[in-house]
Amino acid sequence: MNFIPYGKQFIQQDDIDAVVETLQSDFLTTGPKVKEFEDTLSSYCGAKYVVAVSNGTAALHLASLVLLNKGDKVLTTVNSFLATSNSILYVDAKPLFIDIAQDGNIDLDLCEEELKKDRSIKAIYAVAFSGNMIDQERLKYLKETYGVVILEDCAHAIGAEYNGIKAGSCTNSDCSIFSFHPVKHLTTAEGGAITTNSKEIYERLLMLRAHGMLKTPEMKPWEYEMRELGFNYRITDVQCALGISQLKKLPKFIDRRVQIAKNYDEAFKDTVVRPLYTYDGRSSYHLYVVKVDFSKLNISKADLFNKMRENSIGLQLHYIPINKQPYYRSLGYGEEHTPVMDNYYEECFSLPIYSLLSDAEQTYVIKKLFEILNG
Ligand SMILES: *Cc1c(COP(=O)(O)O)cnc(C)c1O
């Protein structure tokens, strides 16, 4: 059996052809493919404006530069990849870590309690964890009632939908971001994007992506102006050619992930393995997370990880609470009251899910999992 990781890319001949064609064209970076990728993404997720950048972290950084000011307080989840809250620190703003709800997403009721207590809180950075959309009615309500800025980290959620609202559409948020790292649904090797419906935000993002430079038709042919301190967060035409090709197949990728999730749901019914949530049409399943109460079994989580690995299966854990990382502790975080996350962290792990995972491989994963859990 070949090694089965928790996630991986699916590259086919048409993807390779698209990349080769671009390598042979006049443009390697910032040519027609970047705009084409942005336009395709815009029509796919329904946001007016898209800015493609070098990776998802750069997308978060640029969004934070536009949405936040130094010292702003931002409610964010303990259950995400480091980049979500790191981007708040990049702009000298202050993350306030909030516990999760039972589905692994930030607890929006707790967010409201904080907003009631402190009207100076500027923003909420919410993550559609594992591909499960953030409750859109609640987001809308919080935005309208408290006037908070909202960023949706949709790195897990491209293709997800909630009552007709698509991930990245920014229907109830100011900005959303995507990542196109190879473990995500579609890849550009490295890559990311910011979506927004605000022209003003869009224009600042474009400037910040390229050194804070502005060039307008009124200027002399050689002129450009640097208006603020920006970065080089450009994505290349080669990467975008891959992205355009992958995006065409995204609906198929998601159908396959959903099928895998349904198979797992079925296999774990009435067993010690409890899915974080079962299929309800809202998730695009970047991850398939389960919980097991190890205190009731004769095996520890570390032993389970090791024994699965001996059987060529890679489990993962999403995520270690961000606020408990040494760097965050050095800033004074780590002792927030997060009982749901604490329990979740004890019990959770992620099983392999990706388009290329075959039925036979999935059956093997399930069989080995039960064999090892039952010792
Ligand atoms: C992957 C990921 C990112 C960062 O994306 P990169 O492209 O790796 O920089 C940000 N947030 C979440 C939730 C992610 O999973």
Mean pLDDT of the chain: 97
Provide the pLDDT for residue 375.
84
- Per-residue pLDDT tens for 35-69? 999 999 999 999 999 999 999 999 999 999 999 99
Looking at ligand 1, which atom is closest to the CA of residue 192? 7
Rg of the chain (C-alpha set): 21
- Residues 194 and 51: their CA atoms lie apart, in Å, by 5
Q: What is the pTM of this model?
A: 0.97
Which residue ranges make up each domain of the chain? 13-246, 250-374
Residue of minimum CA distance from atom 4 in ligand 1? 56
**Protein residues whose CB sits closer than 6 Å to any atom of ligand 1:** 55-57, 80-81, 83-84, 127, 153, 155-156, 179, 181, 192
CATH number belonging to domain 13-246: 3.40.640.10
- Per-residue pLDDT tens for 283-333? 999 999 999 999 999 999 999 999 999 999 999 999 999 999 999 999 999
How many angstroms is it from 59 CA to the middle of ligand 1?
A: 9
Provide the pLDDT for residue 61.
98
CATH topology of domain 250-374: Aspartate Aminotransferase, domain 1 (3.90.1150)
Residue of minimum CA distance from atom 5 in ligand 1? 56
Choose among 322, 333, 324, 344: nearest CA to 85: 322
Provide the pLDDT for residue 332.
98
- Per-residue pLDDT tens for 256-267? 999 999 999 999
Which of 181, 184, 239 to probe ligand 1 with, by most ligand atoms within 8 A of CB? 181
Looking at ligand 1, which atom is closest to the CA of residue 180? 7
Q: What is the crossing angle of helices 108-117 and 136-146, to 10°?
A: 10
Reply yes or no on whether the pLDDT at 1 is more than 80.
no
Residue 355 is encoded by which pair of tokens? 């388009």
